[in-house]
Structure 1
Amino acid sequence: MSLKVTICDDSGMARKQLLRTLPQDWDAKVYQAADGEQALTCVQQGQAEVLFLDLNMPVMDGYQTLHAIQQQQLECLVIVVSGDIQPEAYQRVTRLGAMAFVKKPMSGDELRELLQQFGLYQPASGHLQLVDERQSQPENALDVYREVSNVAMGQAGDHLARVLDTFIDLPVPNVNFIAPSELHMALQTIDNTERVSAISQGFAGSGILGEALTLFSDTSIDDVCRLLGHQLTGSVRQQRIEALMDIASIITSACLNGLGQQLHVEFTASQPILLGEQKAVRELLAESEQRWQNLLAVEIGYSLKEHQIDFDLLLLFPADAVKVLDQQLAHWLAGQED
């Protein structure tokens, strides 16, 4: 009898990637879920003897799903496939009963070796059956951008977590094509009534020009300073600015590096500039509105819950850059098909 397998990821593009990676001669019947709640239903209905599970999802994330499976004592072998590669993420899912943890994107050879290691796959044992035909739909542009950003976000979060020796809670990236006047509306995690400070860094690579804005609420800045502690020097204001610059540089360079690795683009970022202090979000973003016309905005809200620190990274790509970015993504997608 065919093995029942469910792939759970909020990104249709990520599910399609993993489907392409599964051995075509695997005697398995594959179902799909777009969030943890759907995945849990699949497990309860006997459609997930093996569950490939993402971590960062809306409705119910991977951690909550693993906890529910454990609490309900459901029979299921869980393989976490995530862009969040922090050491603590691995430790958390292991404690919650995950059988294995692999990072996105996963190669076919890596997957076959893993499945054989756990006795789940024998070559030429049958053929793959796809129960849900959603994978045949064309990729949505925003979904592709969101998944690429998700992998880059995970790499950046891992780098910052290691530097600060703490765990970073990662969101689902918010990706939209918007007008500059809508920038403040694109921010999901910062309350527009808060006073914030921002660091700006321009970046370029292979004809792709953009700007990275890192925004900190005033309450988070003091907590960042306490976290960095002895590393900061000078007056209180100088320490606040140094802390902002350090965090912004780390997260921006790591995220751009993650994007560049996937798109085969080497991004170079300029020196960070203090865009403004203790201003309303709308006021801070006014300068960027004047520089761009229409743009692609990628918002990533990072959270260090143990230290009560929240900040946003906003990557802005103007229309001309998006044309080049589309070409790079087309090459990347073609490589995924091979």
Structure 2
Amino acid sequence: MPVASITRRNLGLGFAASAILLSTGNIVMTQTLTEKTHPKPQKVSFESGDGFVVANLYLPEGHDPSRRYPAVAVGGSLTSVKEQMGGNYAGELARRGIVALAIDYRNYGESSGAMRQFEDQASKAEDLSAALRFLKKRSDVSGAGILGVCTSGGTALYAAARDTNVGALATVAGFFSDPQMVLKMFGGQEGIDARIAVGRQARMLYDETGVIETVFAYMPNEKAAVSASPSEYYMDLSRGGGVRAWRNEFAVMGWEQWLAFDPLSQARHVKVPTLVVHSDGAAFPEQARKVHDLLGGPKDLFWAEGKHFDFYDQAETVRQAADSVAAHFHSKLG
């Protein structure tokens, strides 16, 4: 098969794409966290599936290799890379005495994969499990868990439902879809069927030519984008949109897998201690409450304040969430 190349097309499907994330309104930013806000991490890599994952490892200040610390693998939003919200939380957890690993999923960022920007939750859950295996091999780790921000909150449920290496779990502003929600978001069954059809066509094109068709992941008022909401975090070059490693692209051949994303169905299978951090201003708060109610093990719900994107990089909101998350992991993994 030829070396993969990427092209973007306007699908022109004739229906309005529903926004995955809620409009967050105007934000008065007191301090915005970036990768430069935190101590310089160590770049590491490890095997996962048929490839490898690249990650940034953050160690607690004054790290003592003879001690043992809780360790947490951190994943971020749809299409995100480790230098965005995952890195912010990993850095903040390290400040709170936790060994933290912000990962690039395969097909994203610096990790391996020929199908760039391809959304595959099974692969992503496998990468989180691989990250836990990497952490648990370290002599300075007492126990390992997962923190999922936004979409990775749902992905983490998939991993925790199956992987006995998960010692504890936390989600922040999690995206927890289910079939009924997907129907509403994407124009009913007609809208879903149309996206699946173009996704399958795009997969055929990739298999035959190596070309990866893409659409915008986030673009206000763009009908073909995955999210047509204001998405100011991604539109702002001083925030997530300015991270050089990030690409505002979604592989069209991933539509079928993305539409099948159903973390709500996984919640009852999660038996490990879990903390759900959310707010009324974050995306789909009722879904977060549903997940918390359905969880099959010990659970806590921390209802914070803040708009959805505040939880990505706004210092006050992130640090409040990180305080709660760190306390949870110290208690369950220490």
TM-score by length of 2: 0.28
| Greater helix content | 1
Q: Which has the larger radius of gyration?
A: 1
Q: Quick one: higher RCO (CA 8 Å, sep 6+), 1 or 2?
A: 2
TM-score, normalised to structure 1, is 0.28
Higher strand proportion: 1
